Amino acid sequence: MAKHTLSVLVENQAGVLSRVAGLFSRRGFNIDSLAVGITEDANVSRMTIVVDGDDYTVEQVTKQLNKLIDVIKIRQLDPNDSVNRELALIKVNATSTTRSEIMQMVDIFRAKIVDVSKNTLTVEMTGSGSKIAAFEDMLKQFGIKEMVRTGIIAIERGNQVIKVGSGENGASGE
């Protein structure tokens, strides 16, 4: 089964996330990743939903989402025509002897240190899921105290735009 990324524009109001999650739950669809945030229009939020399944599953998910009144538009993003990123915050044990080695890894992975304490470093990293997983594997030797990941966010490359009122129907990929 492949991972499919859906960009879903929804009305920015209370209860929308709950209705979308409920739809997935009722239909037995699994959400691999879900990120929600406001768009350039304060009345619209964008949900980036990653679904693990075949084309039929994605078609069914899209049809069910289109039935929700709060859903404005849906587009399945082509991995070759979109930019995907994830954010991770990782708190790692850091002693006076390991701190410089961790800092070198941070530089190599183009991450950055966002908090320092006597015994820990907190690192912020953005990138693909595989890049974050590789960085996490490298940090395990020092002891990861805590970690949080956002899930994938995605946007189409170039001039492709998913906008309200751009003349597309909900599930169109144009």
Contact 136/88 with Cβ under 8 angstroms?
A: yes
Chain-centre distance for alpha carbon 95: 32
Domain boundaries, the chain: 2-77, 83-153
* Tally of CB atoms within 10 A around 8: 26
- Fold matches, 2-77 and 83-153: yes
Q: How confident is the model at residue 97 (pLDDT cuts 50, 70, 90)?
A: very high
pLDDT, residue 29, reads 85
- Confidence (pLDDT) at 123: 98
What contacts 32, CB < 8 A, 6 or more positions away?
A: 3, 50, 51, 52
Number of other CB atoms surrounding residue 138 within 10 Å: 16
Q: What is the DSSP string of 4-59?
A: EEEEEEEE-STTHHHHHHHHHHHHTPPEEEEEEEE-SSTTEEEEEEEEEE-HHHHH
What's the mean pLDDT in 40-49?
A: 94
* Interacting residues of 66 by C-beta distance below 8 A, sequence separation 6+: 74, 170, 171
Candidate CATH numbers 2.30.40.10, 3.40.50.720, 3.30.70.260, 3.40.1260.10; the one for domain 2-77: 3.30.70.260
Average confidence (pLDDT) over 152-166: 77
Tell me how far apart the alpha carbons of residues 29 and 171 are, in angstroms, rounded to a whole number: 18
Helix and strand totals (H; E) in the chain? 4, 9
Q: What is the pLDDT of residues 111-151, one digit of tens each?
A: 999 999 999 999 999 999 999 999 999 999 999 999 999 99
Q: Which CATH architecture does the domain made up of 83-153 adopt?
A: 2-Layer Sandwich (3.30)
92 pLDDT more than 80: yes
Condensed to tens digits (0 to 9), the pLDDT of residues 54-77 reads 888 899 999 999 999 999 999 999
- Strand partners for 113: 123
Q: What is the DSSP letter of 78?
A: P
pLDDT at residue 170 in the model:
42
**Alpha carbons 88 and 57: distance in angstroms, whole number:** 29
Q: H or E segment at 115? A: strand 112-116
Over range 73-93, report the average pLDDT: 94
Mean pLDDT across 77-90 = 94
